[in-house]
Amino acid sequence: MGMKVVVMLMVILAIITLMSSNVNAKEKVCSKNWDCKNSKFCCNETISDFFQAYQFENLFSKRNAPVAHAVGFWDYHSFITASSLYQPLGFGTTGGHLMQMKEVAAFLGHVGSKTSCGYGVATGGPLAWGLCYNREMSPQQSYCKEDDYKYPCTPGAEYYGRGALPVYWNANYGIMGEALKLDLLNHPEYLEQNATVAFQAAIYRWMTPLKRKQPSAHDVFVGNWKPTKNDTLAKRVPGFGATMNLLYADLTCGQGDIDPMNNIISHYQYYLDLMGVGREEAGTHEELSCAEQELFNPPAPAYSTT
């Protein structure tokens, strides 16, 4: 009887040890390079491991051309510095090497398309001109919603589009400022004065759900989001198309193959090619497009770009 008790205790001890080792494995965190600290995601490659300065230059080869409108503003170091806040949360560090490269290409595809001054016969082609702008050049209004009492407009401030994924309207500057711990409501100009801050704001928008119980653009791209039956009926599937749905809503999605949507897709595919991944890895048409998707947030979300 005593021997049975001893054996039983040994079995229980072994189970506890195994469970403890599994917990410890799940809790493993790493710090790697200078751009990813104290996170399980930092145990993967960091962005600076697989996306280097020369690749940034290839993607945005015309940003410092004499006719560009933000010469000398955007650079690789600012992007990596900004990303260091979000790599520990999974930005560019989720999944394996291929997914990591695809996410960086996807995010920058949005950025390139929204800051481009390229056109059909532009030198180098229309897709080579991303990061040409850091602000809206000829705003038609101040984008002040005067009845917003939580984020009231600052006298003299104008809330036109600024940044890598342009921010518009006083409420959005207020929300973004709270997230970045910067007074963007009173000083919206910070987004056109500091490239690191501009990239931080854009990555925050990529990583953050617009509403509770909704995925972020990051979530739908890397596979963290599992569609419900209602999502499936609405033709919303994980992939690049869903990122456009979340970021731009009816400005881009649910309207068939319109130019604003196709322009963003083209930048993503172009960047995949330049990064050596290849556009064939972009996914099926259903994953890549949002032409037939019903909107996550009808009408346009709070981060409206108009």
Distance between CA atoms of residues 234 and 172, nearest Å: 28
Q: Is the confidence at residue 177, as pLDDT, over 90?
A: yes
3-state secondary structure the chain: CHHHHHHHHHHHHHHHHHHHHHHHHHCCCEEECCCEEEEHHHHCCCHHHHCCHHHHHHHCCCCCCCCCCCCCCCCHHHHHHHHCCCHHHCCCCCCCHHHHHHHHHHHHHHHHHHCCCCCCCCCCCHHHCCCCCCECCCCCCCCCCCCCCCCCCCCCCCCCCECCCCECCHHHHHHHHHHHCCCCCCCCCHHHHCHHHHHHHHHHHHHCCCCCCCCCHHHHHHCCCCCCHHHHHCCCCCCHHHHHHHHHHHHCCCCCCCHHHHHHHHHHHHHHHHCCCCHHHHCCHHHHCCCCCCCCCCCCCCCCCC
Q: Does position 39 have pLDDT exceeding 60, yes or no?
A: yes
CA 42/CA 90 separation, integer angstroms: 8
Cα distances (angstroms) measured from residue 297 to each of 105, 171, 285: 25, 17, 22
Question: Which of the four pLDDT bands, split at 50, 70 and 90, describes residue 83?
Answer: very high
User: pTM of the predicted model, to two decimals?
Assistant: 0.89
Q: Are 305 and 161 in contact (CB under 8 A)?
A: yes
Please write the tens of the pLDDT for every residue from 242-271: 999 999 999 999 999 999 999 999 999 999
Question: Greater confidence, 231 or 35?
Answer: 231
Report d(CA 186, CA 170) in Å as an integer: 9
Q: Which residue has the higher pLDDT, 26 or 115?
A: 115
Examine the pLDDT at 293 and tell me if it is beyond 60: yes
Average pLDDT over the chain, rounded to an integer: 91
Residue 191 in tokens: 């987004």
Domains of the chain in start order, with CATH, are 31-288 (1.10.530.10)
Per-residue pLDDT reduced to its tens digit, 96-129:
999 999 999 999 999 999 999 988 757 888 999 9
Structure tokens given for 261: 């949507």
